[in-house]
Amino acid sequence: MDISYSHHGLVDISYSHHPLTGLVDISYSHHPLTGLVDISYSHHPLTGLVEISYSHHPLTGLVDISYSHHPLTGLVDISYSHHPLTGLVDISYSHHPLTGLVDISYSHHPLTGLVDISYSHHPLTGLVDISYSHHPLTGLVDISYSHHPLTGLVDISYSHHPLTGLVDISYSHHPLTGLVDISYSHHPLTGLVDISYSHHPLTGLVDISYSHHPLTGLVDISYSHHPLTGLVDISYSHHPLTGLVDISYSHHPLTGLVDISYSHHPLTGLVDISYSHHPLTGLVAISYSHHPLTGLVDISYSHHPLTGLVDISYSHHPLTGLVDISYSHHLLTGLVDISYSHHPLTGLVDISYSHHPLTGLVDISYSHHPLTGLVDISYSHHPLTGLALFHGLFLNITELKIFGQL
């Protein structure tokens, strides 16, 4: 049976009954411009479910109320809301007897002495979650606590921002793994301090970091140790506006790898230095860079004992009397590559030489472009084929000569 009535100084009434299921739905609404009233009721005999809701908005002393009960599960949900322009109150409660779960929440915003409170308990797991928040324009306080008895996990966090003497604290402990994570932050406009510590007993891993930015005598420090591999990573940074210093060190005992780097930029007498050694391969890589605005110097050296490879490079650009030199030697193949370049704005000279003993191949090239009396010369010889090529190109303002020989 369905019954409905409507009247437009507005009244809405409805009634519904389903004999096969026993379901009953009742609703009532009243809006005489607008002393709004909303009422509803629902009952499901097959499940025993009962749902009740009430709403009242007489411009606007708003009230919202709801209630729900599920007998098959024993679940009870209750909620209440009150907003009389706006002394807001939000309350909710939930209970699940099959699991024993209880959720409780409360909120209060009287323009705006905001308070947020929540509590949750799961008896089957023993989990407890607690949170509290307070923002009275804005002496913000955030607190949370979580405990998982099945794992023993504990998470704790605290935050404080009274415009803004910010403090952030967190702590986490996982007894099954022994993991401990600790962090602390402090930003009182802004004497920033960041500290973190992490320990993983199953691996023995320790991570430590520290940061300090008091407007801004920045200091960054980090340390990491992995006992299972013996790996150690260390880094340090210093930027006091800005006498930048970057230092890093890494050691991998299982491979014997060592990586070292250093950087210095005091506005900007830049110096970059790096060193790397891989004992398993014998590889050694060294690099140096210097840019004092800008008498640039780039130097690199690399040696691979397993192949006998040696790579050497040098670069010089003092605005810009550019010089590029490189040398490469592959002991296993006997390959030698040599190159030279010179561009002093621009009396360009390019020279290259390559020799492949396994094939006997020789490649020689020369180039000269002094704006632009172009000269290109190349020579190539392949003893296995007997092929020999020689090519030359000479160009100036009055004369062009091209010749070749095979």
Q: Apex CA 104: angle with CA 103 and CA 109, to 5°?
A: 140
Band of the pLDDT at 293, cuts 50, 70, 90?
Answer: confident
Rg (CA), the chain: 39
Band of the pLDDT at 135, cuts 50, 70, 90?
Answer: confident
In 3D space, the residue among 133, 134, 154, 136 whose CA is nearest the CA of residue 145 turns out to be 154
pLDDT at 311: 97
How far apart, in whole angstroms, are the C-alpha atoms of residue 235 and residue 250? 9
54-72 burial, b at 16+ Cβ within 10 Å, e below that, comes to bbbbeeeebbbbbbbbbee
Band of the pLDDT at 393, cuts 50, 70, 90?
Answer: low
Give yes or no for residue 401 having a pLDDT over 60. Answer: no
Question: What's the pLDDT tens digit per position in 363-382?
Answer: 999 999 888 888 999 999 99
Q: Apex CA 231: angle with CA 203 and CA 213, to 5°?
A: 95
For the chain, the average pLDDT equals 90
Instruction: Work out the average pLDDT over 244-262.
Output: 95
pLDDT at 372: 85
How far apart, in whole angstroms, are the C-alpha atoms of residue 219 and residue 217? 6
163-174 burial, b at 16+ Cβ within 10 Å, e below that, comes to eeebbbbbebeb
Q: Residue 377: what residue type? A: I
Question: What's the pLDDT tens digit per position in 79-111?
Answer: 999 888 778 899 999 999 988 999 999 999 887
Question: What's the pLDDT tens digit per position in 114-125?
Answer: 899 999 999 988
Question: What's the pLDDT tens digit per position in 186-239?
Answer: 988 888 899 999 999 988 999 999 999 888 889 999 999 999 889 999 999 998
Band of the pLDDT at 330, cuts 50, 70, 90?
Answer: very high
Give yes or no for residue 403 having a pLDDT over 60. Answer: no
pLDDT at 345: 83
Question: What pTM does this model have?
Answer: 0.65
How far apart, in whole angstroms, are the C-alpha atoms of residue 361 and residue 335? 10
Measure CA of the first residue to CA of the last residue in the chain; give whole Å: 108
Question: What's the pLDDT tens digit per position in 155-180?
Answer: 999 999 887 888 999 999 999 889 99
Band of the pLDDT at 61, cuts 50, 70, 90?
Answer: confident
Q: Residue 182: what residue type? A: I
Q: Residue 94: what residue type? A: S
Instruction: Work out the average pLDDT over 298-303.
Output: 97
